[in-house]
Amino acid sequence: MSISAVRHSALDTIFGVPKPLIGDIHLPPLPGTPRSRGESMATIIERACRDAEAFAKGGMDGVIVENHGDIPFLKPADIGLEIVAAMAVVAAAVREACGLPMGINVLANGAVAGLAVARASNARFIRVNQWVNAYVANEGVIDGESARALRFRRQIDAQDVAIFADVHVKHGSHAIVGDRPVSEQASDVEFAEADVAIATGNRTGDAVPESEIGAVRSGTRLPVIAGSGVTTDNARQILGALDGAIVGSSLKEGGVWWNAVELARVRALAEAVKPLRERG
């Protein structure tokens, strides 16, 4: 099978269903981070597993574990071993609890850390917010991690861990200079060996604009999924144009990312996109 064919089959290989829905498990602050309230790892694991079970019961096709509570986030080189260790323990428990294909997102832009967690917890993919090029974010100037990450992935024998890469990442000015259209950035993601491209809105919970979807689609042959802003109300429209979605905030109590997953919201989303998924 050609490299191109392997890339294009990433979603099918991992999830085995059309237009997969991936539930985002936003972890509370991990030990050692500024907002940590001193919760034990047992408490953090229990909460994450409850969210995972709700996603599975409600009809999601996968989950992704993310250290979203570790605000403000560190740059990749500063992410500590305590974060990698904590996320690996949580992720392994989540996988056992829900049985769904699982991904990892270590913030901010922790591709190497994410691969380490994925390898230890048997995750199927990682999400990387800046895979190529560079941009200015809350954390400062963030460089693309593809060169380091791909070498590390080979070193730890994790070639089966797929790369889901944001094209035009939220929460940043997106580029050091503004002379690169989104379509070219999408091409860069494919060139740098990503398996799936991600299109997002400007901030957590913001829907992906139609113009953004079109720009990303025009620049890559990779599968493209939504990385933010999918709700029960807009899911048919967005999933009609994309190949899947990572969904978090809209499935939480009150629509707020730090709350627990609400089963009724998950079921409503799965039901809303059922006609699209049946058509493939």
pTM of the complete model: 0.94
pLDDT tens digit sequence for 121-152: 999 999 999 999 988 888 889 999 999 999 99
pLDDT of the residue at 7: 46
Most confident of 53-57, 139-143, 255-259: 53-57
What is the mean predicted confidence (pLDDT) over 174-187? Answer: 77
pLDDT of the residue at 271: 97
Better-scored residue on pLDDT, 133 or 158:
158
pLDDT tens digit sequence for 25-41: 999 999 999 999 999 99
Domains, the chain, with CATH or none? 20-279 (3.20.20.70)
Q: How far apart are CA 249 and CA 255, in angstroms?
A: 5
